[in-house]
Amino acid sequence: MYRVCFVCTGNICRSPMAESVFRSHVAEAGLEDLVEVDSAGTGGWHEGDGADPRTVAVLEAAGYAQDHRARRFRASWFDRLDLVIALDAGHLRDLRALAPTPEAAAKVRLLRSYDPAGTSVRGSGSGSLDVPDPYYGSFDGFEECLELVEAASTGLLEAVRAAVKEHTP
């Protein structure tokens, strides 16, 4: 089993959104028996909570299923994960610092680094590969977050598909 975990700050907005979108892509590709998709937060403020209602609304409007309880990412998880996907540069830095070995740190990548359009997607700012945190903003921020997640998911799926081929005999 190839394991992917998406990580944002509190695990109630961006990472559960990315988890739902990517799980859908994995299922559409027929890889659900080979790829496990999960999410967590760098902090534990919302542990046990469901996804933000605005995240749920955006996902449901776009046809994505979600059933989520927030969790905090633990350093011990690196051993069982193949890929840890950070939603912004701060998460990337924090996760790499948390990694117990250089090999574990190498598993951490930015989600938008898989976006074939790169930084040309609306709202991404000047050269940033971050998915902006929509929590303190308007509903539009959640819709933008979904756009950015969807744009990167296709490229991520291709990378994961290639990695799965390498891992399966």
Positions marked active-site: 8, 14, 133
Amino acid at 33: D
| Residue 116, number of CB atoms within 10 A of its CB | 10
Lay out the sheet containing 108-110: strands in order across: 35-41, 2-8, 83-86, 108-110
| Residue 117, number of CB atoms within 10 A of its CB | 12
- B/e letters for 106-115, b = 16+ CB within 10 Å, e = fewer, are ebbbbbbebb
61 contact partners, CB below 8 Å, separation of at least 6: none
